[in-house]
Structure 1
Amino acid sequence: MASVFLYLLSLLLFPLFSSAQTYRNVTLGTSLSTNDKNPYWASPSGEFSFGFYPIQDVFMLAIWYEKIAVESIIWTANGGNTVESGSKIELTSDGVLSLSTPNGTQIWKVESMDSIGVTSAAMLDTGNFVLSSDESAIKWASFDIPTDTIVPTQILNPLGKLSARLTQNDYSQGRFELILQGDGNLVLYQKARPMGDNYDGYWDTATTNGSQLIFNQSGYIYLSLGSGNTNRSSLTPTTQVSPREFYHRATLDFDGAFRHYTYPKNSQAEDGVNPGQFPNDNQRPQCNCPPRYTYIDSNNTFNGCKQDFLQQICGTSDGFELREIPSIDWRTSDYGSAIIREGTCWLKKFPLSNGKTDPTDKGKALIKVGKSQLVLNNRNNSCKKDRDNLILPGSILLGSSMLFNLLLISVICLANCGFRHKKQHQMRQDPPSISGMNLRSFTYKELEEATDKFKEKLGKGAFSTVYKGILELNPQSLVAVKRLESVVEGVEKEFRAEMSAIGRTNHKNLVQLLGFCDEGAHRLLVYEFMKNGSLASFLFGDSKPDWYQRIQIAFGIARGIVYLHEECSSQIIHCDIKPQNILLDDSFNVKISDFGLAKLLMSDQSRCTTDIRGTRGYVAPEWFKRMAITAKVDVYSFGIMLLEIICCRKNVERESWDENYEILSDWAYDCYVENKLHLLVENDEQAKSDGKMLERLVMTAIWCIQEDPSLRPSMKTVTQMLEGAIEVCIPPVSDPSSFISSICA
């Protein structure tokens, strides 16, 4: 009798022992490698696996349905990033789940709040991977941090979210999120990459008391609206296939649709039910391009559109036209195109995104596009034909009158003689200049009179003072006269040679040098006058330039430095790139000043001396290390200034409310690593809506300020990175400016 009782008791306790055992199928010190024959830990039933999922020649650390032939990943680690062959996942002896590369570098880990108590891990039959203690208490669970999918028995709590993957085959974080907000509303958002800010929601349950999004064990998805099983908002039909016969998952797909998928257990077929009730027959949103735009990638229509017309068509007054798009709207924060509705017009600028069509919307959009290349070519051919028609009768007329030809020759001779006489007269009156250059050599007295005895000071630097002057030419010309105060003595020949080199420069992004004074101990330079002053006053003043204007300013500076480094007859290293040396003309075009003066202001430029050239906060680390000075010092200074242009703040702010915010280069790097670039442009909606450009600019700046000069790109490469001509690779993980930041601090 006792043996029968013990037998029955063992049957009753068997499920408990089995359950406890499932928590202990991965012990401390156990590891998996991509090179293992079976690089995964399976659940007791074999329906789920945790481990390395192969994707072509790389792997993803993930959880997936093992018995479904089609791709059925329900959770990913490491931000959805793949790892190379030879990578390893290990439950360490101290209870940390750690993912490392083949060389042993840790790239992701799970460390529970009480990792000391973790004694094992397990892949459960529910699809939940857990870390647990000896008492089978769960310390960490993958269900608590879902990625893009939930499965039966899984719950999404308030402030919980699902994040869509980027594309069908790219598991990194994409553009859409499903969030159960704190106010109880379940909302689908599109977010701005890479900052992570959310645009306006495009679908919601319109609830105010939602407490949990529940995917119950019957395969039913609903939003719980407080206490009681009947108080709920359904997301799936009440008639649902049973999980006994079907595998289930609900996924926020890369296209922004939240879908409920079912897979027959005795088949490899797939069925999808869309609980969001999106209005396409195939339950997938269709992404279309506006007129005169085509897909960037025809195989991925969600990757955006590009124009198929010339952005600027010079010499034509009718190169553009307005195209009408009916029943369409873009979100209010986008701003291009004009939206006309009920007598009111909203003007919107690029980039245009998140547009949607609605047959009930009576508004229409007018979008400015370039005319087709075919039309322009026809027009050009027509113009050419007209010119040919004009040339033919003109030739006949000229050839038919010998008298006219003789008169024409006489006029040409008289004009030529007059021009030669005027030029000789001008040469007699012009002051001396450097041979072959258009630089004037002024006397000190002339410049003293032009500046009214150096009365109006425009600015002062460590080596010079700039004054406003007026040259009595025809007409009068405003000039900026720079008086050099620290020129090395005994370099008269070098001074004129350097003036000759500067005088040969000719670029739209360089300030034009008009002349100089080399008289006794006086060394003065005469530049064209820049009405809008320096970039520093423009950038750090009360009125900030807009985002797109700042981008063009950065591009202009980069192009100017490329010219100095690579396109001059002899390379010019600026050595003092900073906002104070970037001037702006009447149209806010960039003009770099003070280039070519380094050799005049220090005796040895080939190697660093104690006389460090540059300005605190912009000086490259090699100046402090007695290393050879190359053009890479300008690259470093440009990187610091690029961050200032992005953020409209100085590199060093001593009075900062937060010490982490004090050094801009450090703070920008932290924001990049933590994927919080929106903090850099917190009050700039234009910049926040242009996420890809923001990310490109910040990554380029981080490359520029690498401590090791050999890691910094050339300015030509920097320009290509800024303009999108080449891809910007991920910068090194270590803080690029740790050395110089310690000096600034």
Structure 2
Amino acid sequence: MANRDKPVNSLGSRVSLRKDGSLVLTDVDGATVWQTSTNSSSLDVERAELLNSGNLVLKDAHGKILWQSFDFPTDTLLPNQPFTKSKKLISTLGRGTFGTGYFSFYFDNDNVLKLMYDGPDISSLYWPDPDYNVADNGRTNYNSSRIAVLDDSGNFLSSDKLQFSASDMGVGVKRRLTMDYDGNLRLYSLNSLTGFWVITWEAMAEMCKVHGICGKNGICIYTPQPKCSCPPGYEVVDTSNLNKGCKPKFNLTCSQSQQVKFVQIQQVDFYGFDLNYSESISFDNCRKFCLEDCRCEAFSYRLTGEGRCYTKSALFNGYKSPNFPGSIYLRLPMSVEASVSTKLNASDACSRTNVTKVVVGSPSMYANSSKRLRWVYMYWFAFAVGAVEILFILSAWWLLFRRHGAAAPIEDGYHVISSQFRMFRYPELKKATKNFKEELGRGASGAVYKGVLADERVVAVKKLADIYQGEDVFWAEVSTIGKINHMNLVRIWGFCSDDKHRLLVSEYVENGSLDKHLFPPNFLGWKERFKVAIGIAKGLAYLHHECLEWVIHCDVKPENILLDSNFEPKIADFGLAKLSQRGSLSSMFSRIRGTKGYMAPEWALNLPITAKVDVYSYGVLILEMVKGIRLSSWVVEDSEDQEAELTRFVRVAKKKIRCGEDQWMEDMLDPRLEGQFSRNQAAKMVEIGVSCVEEDRSKRPTMGSVVQELLECADESHAGSPHTK
């Protein structure tokens, strides 16, 4: 991109290849704003040429390249464009802008590819994970060649051993690697059918780990999308741009007469700017370190089996995470209001923060005798409260040991307590389900039972089959699933891993599965069918492209789509593929996952499994929603006739669409609808369904593009229909 910080006018500017061999960009007034470097070889330039690779080149009469745009990347790297130590990808400032931003992708002096925030106030490396060394991050700094390339198949290879691949890996797809304005490095693939770019790989799974994304004093929170917010006692610098951070409403001085307090924000930390770091230290001593250093703006205290204390000289790179085992304690003047109900000021003010006031004073606060007396009383009060708390904890531990033989590790226990996602004990779930009395359903992965927890939440408890692995791996996987949150996915509340028992606890969805409402003798109106089609697509798109770790469902079918009281769809069993088959071969994968009739052809061909298997299953599902009957084969013994039914439906649909018949839609739809449907929506669903069940997976759309297509006709008015009849 030429002259990105001072773009030319859209009308009247021009690019010229001059006789001296230079390529020149001029503005409407004729002023030169950019040109290729002029040297002796420039005189040999005969022509400018845009190659099929996307490289703009200047060539001499013999075809030799004398200058090329590939040597001057902006924010994007194209396939086969060499990326070397002299090059950087630098983001734009924001969506729809072109100016130089603050995030960059480059080879650092240690020969390792990194992502860095270089803003007005600070510079900070955030990828690969700065908490680990080069080897722990899977890189090497022993190769000084510093070169990387993205090939035609979607594979990225680097001299520092960084390797990744597009989720739709294969030739024939246009791709680009872009340093986005939000600080994430993403690989995009172009969907030739829809014209949309879709994400097929990204560096940062958790966007709140991107440094500088919320500016000074800002905190990044998930709502569930990342939002910038301000801590208690702070306000936004610019209400139109929350990325510019927050400013204090107070003036914190080093005067010993100023009374101060600490305000705790649970599960929040600010990365870096540590004045002091101590291990195996008590909370009181950590607080004292901050009090005695007037540079200290806050301290972080972590409970990870031993007390860890970090005092902070500045508040940058703030983030809130259910996985952070500690809290930040802000140092504020006593006069600043910061109540327990204080909200983080996100743009939609939606995430309420757990804020607790911890009142202390500066050392000179107790200079006279009356204040010393008050200090003594406070000590005795704190001692009494602490004694009661210790007795309570010891009693709870004793009961836990007595009932279960052993307590969970301290660190794991804190993770469980600090999140809505928690670990259950088997006797607890046995009691909640009344000894697994009421069975809601049963599948290859296990049976599901209805239960009521002690807090009166109604839940679904799934007893997983014996195919699931050891406790450590199971813990790691369910922790990932516990972070996934989307309105069209069944919410996972927790799990159980007692001895041989493996159970998942999820929300109870009132109206049961889609098959019980769609197929005869039951009936679902058109409005609800289209709503369900969009919801399922959104849920799958989130799993494939947006969630903290990509998850392929591998078993999309009506029985795994649950409907809530408003007939909003929720995808169930979305984590079981991850739980059962991490790292295994695709042949074993196909033996366990998938349902015949909804399974993509690549299962039988033993090809690598990608997100396109879910796209195929979704295609079968929405065609069944259009027709109102089973088109898949899994429920009957005579599978050949049923399998031919899907093939026949797709062949007829393709023919009618191609021929443009006027009444083709009525012939394809469920006759029970009696004309109560939107023609445009029905046509769109058939077209999408047909494209999703293509045998060649490269021709299938992504779920992201499916969502966009459906949303384009979502607001069309159509005849109403009841939920069921």
Provide TM-score, normalisation by structure 1. Answer: 0.39
Compare CA radii of gyration and give the structure with the larger one.
1
Tell which has more relative contact order, 1 or 2 (C-alpha 8 A, sep 6+): 2
Could you tell me the TM-score, scaled by structure 2's length? 0.40
